[in-house]
């Protein structure tokens, strides 16, 4: 039988490492769900003045930070190297140079200790963040994976099996939030700022396009919305009118969330699942969480999402997915490469 973490309990202690983007993270996870430590060294301040992640700065900072973050994760967990069962590390998708640093650190540790090495798909990690906090959740699931780099609807008939139903044709959801925030001078990352501003705005004050809302597929397009927001702001400025940032944020957010909620509901109905998982940084979004839950509750579909700290990049989620891969007997060789375009 294939390993099913909701049926079988497997004992292990995993040190997990995540460096795919701009967080240097390490965590110790026991038995696939107990988070003994979860250290995240964010580089946000280093990238903020550029309005986005600068890959070269990210790699260099991971290199300077990763050893200390790993040591801190072990220390906070009260775990020594001989207590570990395996080392898990994100192998992709992500920035190649950034991924490489975590991978090399994990390989060096595995080589020195003789521990098995497990490679984890970053997106599977985001999905497994749900299982850290909802241990009873069993597939089939429909997962909406929305992060800075990805926007996908995924059908997960069983653990470890993924069918891509659709994805963005251009910008990712988080990328759209970040670009609009940058344009408005709100800082980086943009998602949390727009979420907060939108809470005081009227989502119907400015009507933005809902791209691909009725295309009867599960794809998304967000670049047109970005242009529509920018054009609106330029027009208002030219006309000498004051821009209500709260209404603008609320209108933009509603346009994103409307399409995502609509397509996720359709996907859940098509696949007849009773559980939908939200995953990735944009799963922090208040409106997305509330709207999706409200829409699906009437259809007897449960919507799960991780706590905000587990939605954004962290290594605990990599430990959870690593546990699953370990007990499937999927190991990484010491000559493995980072896979910047890895698919689920």
Please give the Cα distance from 199 to 171 (Å, whole number): 24
> Distance between CA atoms of 220 and 175, rounded to whole angstroms?
13
**Which of residues 85 and 314 has its CB atom nearest to ligand KG4 in the complex?**
314
- Count of residues interacting with Zn ion (CB under 5 A): 2
- 171 binds ligand KG4, rule: CB under 6 A: no
User: Which listed residue (281, 306, 319, 322) binds ligand KG4 by CB under 6 A?
Assistant: 281
Residue with tokens 């190649």: 96
**φ/ψ (deg, to 5) at 230:** -65, -45
Which of 282, 313, 316, 338 contacts Zn ion by CB under 5 A?
313
- Report what 285 binds from Zn ion, ligand KG4, none; CB cut-off 5-8 Å by kind: ligand KG4
Among the residue ranges 43-51, 141-149, 221-229, 235-243, the one whose residues contact ligand KG4 (CB under 6 A) = 141-149
Local structure of 244: helix, strand or coil: coil
- Residue 247 interacting entry, from ligand KG4, Zn ion, none, C-beta within 5 to 8 Å by type: none
Q: Which parts of 192-251 interact with ligand KG4 (CB under 6 A)?
A: 192, 195
Closest by CA to 92, choosing from 137, 126, 61, is 126
Tell me how many degrees the CA angle 134-137-138 measures, rounded to the nearest 5.
155
Residue numbers 289-318 binding ligand KG4 by CB under 6 A: 312-313
HEC letters along 264-313: HHHHHHHHCCCEEEEECHHHHCHHHHHHHHHHHHCCCCEEECCCHHHHCC
Does the protein bind ligand KG4 through residue 119 (CB under 6 A)? no
Question: In the range 144-183, which residues lie near Zn ion by CB under 5 A?
Answer: 147
- Given phi > 0 = left and psi -120 to 50 = alpha, else beta, which region is 237? alpha
Beta carbon nearer to Zn ion, 51 or 149: 149
Q: Residues, the chain, total?
A: 344
Residue among 79 and 88 whose Cβ is closer to Zn ion: 88
Check binding of 90 to ligand KG4 (CB under 6 A). Answer: no
195 binds, among Zn ion, ligand KG4, none (CB under 5 to 8 A by kind): ligand KG4
Q: Where do contacts with ligand KG4 occur on this chain (CB under 6 A)?
A: 21, 147-149, 174, 177-178, 189-192, 195, 280-282, 284-285, 312-313
């Amino acid at each position: 039988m294939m390993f099913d973490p909701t049926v079988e309990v497997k004992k292990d202690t995993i040190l997990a490492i995540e460096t795919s983007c701009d967080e240097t993270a390490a965590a110790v996870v026991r038995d696939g769900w107990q988070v003994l430590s979860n250290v995240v060294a964010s580089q946000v301040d280093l990238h903020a003045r550029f309005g986005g992640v600068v890959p070269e700065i990210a790699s260099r900072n991971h290199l300077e930070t990763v050893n200390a973050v790993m040591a801190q994760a072990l220390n906070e967990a009260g775990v020594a190297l001989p207590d570990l069962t395996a080392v898990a590390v994100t192998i992709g998708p992500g920035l190649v140079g950034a991924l490489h640093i975590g991978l090399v650190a994990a390989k060096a540790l595995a080589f020195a200790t003789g521990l098995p090495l497990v490679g984890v798909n970053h997106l599977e990690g985001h999905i497994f963040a749900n299982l850290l906090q909802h241990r009873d959740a069993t597939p089939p699931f429909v997962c909406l994976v929305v992060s800075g780099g990805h926007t996908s609807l995924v059908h997960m008939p069983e653990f470890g099996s993924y069918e891509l139903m659709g994805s963005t044709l251009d910008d990712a959801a988080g990328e759209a939030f970040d670009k609009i925030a940058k344009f408005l001078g709100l800082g980086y990352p943009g998602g949390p700022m727009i979420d907060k501003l939108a809470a005081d705005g009227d989502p119907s004050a400015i009507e933005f396009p809902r791209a691909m809302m009725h295309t009867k597929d599960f794809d998304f397009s967000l670049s047109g919305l970005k242009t529509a927001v920018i054009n609106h702001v330029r027009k208002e400025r030219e006309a000498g009118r004051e821009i209500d940032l709260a209404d603008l944020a609320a209108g933009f957010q509603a346009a994103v969330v409307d399409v995502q909620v609509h397509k996720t509901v359709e996907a859940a109905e098509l696949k007849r699942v009773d559980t939908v998982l939200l995953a990735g940084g944009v799963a922090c979004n208040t409106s997305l969480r509330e709207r999706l839950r409200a829409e699906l509750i009437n259809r007897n579909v449960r919507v799960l999402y991780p706590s905000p700290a587990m939605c954004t990049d962290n290594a605990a989620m990599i430990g959870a997915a690593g546990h699953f891969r370990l007990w499937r007997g999927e190991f990484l060789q010491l000559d493995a490469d980072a896979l910047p375009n890895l698919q689920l």
